[in-house]
Structure 1
Amino acid sequence: MTIHKKITVDSNHLYLFPLADFAGGGYVMIDSGPNTELAFESFKQNLDSKNIEISEIKKIIITHAHADHMGFANRFIEQDIEFYVGAPDMSAYTSGSQFESIIIRKTASVLRKNGVPNIILNEWLENKKNRAPLNSIPWLNIKPVVGRHIFPLIDNQNLEIVACPGHTPGSIAAYNPKTQEIFSGDTIIKNKIPSTGLHYESISSEKQWGGTTHFLNTIQELKLIKIKKVYPAHGPEIIDHRAILNYYLTHFRNFERKISELSNKNLSNSFEITKKMYRHFSNFHVNDQVKAIIKVICIIEKLNQIKSKN
């Protein structure tokens, strides 16, 4: 029997689960919404409509270190809440906007080296300035996990953390073995290919982490889990998850093939390849243009790693 309650804030779905009495009672929540006053007020109104006091939330699982998922987490600090996060994303959680600034600087450098013109780069950077700040979470409140951590729920049910690296290095999901439901964050979303972004092996390293390779490995691992229903962080619930996972694999396989073909046509850089990959690239919003370029850069990096091993 499904025991969770769903709250939607902006386009984000948050999920609350009643903890077993021997686990302390109250609720464990998956994700917090974006860091705006409007979002937080909407969240509190949603709680009221479900007769849940904010003080009843004892633990929060954050599926990955993006602003719309960890946004108002710091508003719970006074309640001494424990935050369970994917260990590889720790620098983002503890450094917040400082971490984000470093990643933006690194990414801008990579984009520039790959031929992205200043008119696109400058507009993208300007858009980044207008985003809500990424507030950090104190170290003492964070419980880093790498998978298999168990949260005992009522009715003899459990939530089990599943490591899902790819969208970010520390992306995680939560799985209920009894109901065979998975709460996937941004790893499985209907009608959308999750981005793997530009990530680095550490905050001090310029070496790319290889999100695409990790994401594809995660998809293969998720296919081994018995899943009846997927509850994503955005969009509708998913019944046909295997079809979506197979679609992701096919999409990336075809994408790699096309990029490999274009790479052999002496195009000068990743930006030129991206324009060939996307027929309507010039009509994209600048943020979508940059996402497309980053996707191509990541695939080329993956193909180069394969070549170097052969």
Structure 2
Amino acid sequence: MPRTTPWAGDPVWLADVLRAEGIELVEFPGWQNRGHGDFKDIRGVMVHHTGSDNATAASIAYGRPDLRGPLSQLHIARDGTVTVVAVGVAWHAGRGMYPWIPTNMGNWHLIGIECANSGTSPTAPHRHNWPDAQYFALVKCCAAINRRLSQTAARTIGHKEYAGRAQGKWDPGAIDMDLLRRDIQAQIGDISRSAPTPRPPVPVGEYADVLLFRGTEGPLVAELQRLLRSAHPEFAGHLAVDGDFGPETEAAVRVFQRRTPGLKVDGIVGPATAAALRLNPAPATAVTA
């Protein structure tokens, strides 16, 4: 029987369900142990273009100087080759909102698919510069994952639908998401018992764009460290105000969350934790994940 509850933890079944969909899968070395920690629960799929027709699976697995990989769980080349690069959390979603995803938490709830494609432009017609092999490999990947989670195609979204306002993202370019979802649903077929759609509270207001976690750098991290040091010297007085969200900053955030009713203890500063801290969101952040 298909699952009808959210999948908690990493998608260890990813390679198996893709192959069952008829996809000739390439396994990037070390994918079973690659990721930025574990998923909270998997609620759907997020689709991206890389910005280059020639982006390789290695570039997704290892990342770039300003953002350490993995940058998604899957990579799809223009010839339709699908490579699984990671099973753990990947930095692909960043800041954003969608009704069934906790604000700014897409990385911990969505499987990311990066397609080697320039995207052409935000106004390009559907499937312009998307080879059939690449497009239909994308459809099969999304269908396989959604079906495994007993979900409809509605649980596949574009990065632009989640992060368009917060980050100005427009990927996947030249993809009409409604038409893509139509094709994915046709591939999925009927689901007799679909999983319930989560409806988390959606924090709004001045903290809606705050997302800080280990590895983040910039003025807002320094502001966080400064605030923790001054307001909570008993457990954060030792913090260096260096704008680098390292293990000591994460540990201090966890202590604050543990002492504050209603907060999840995860070491991540999203809208709820930022509001509880009364963090000044004015400094620009360096978050691009």
TM-score when normalising by structure 1: 0.28
Higher relative contact order (CA 8 A, sep 6+): 2
More helix by percentage: 1
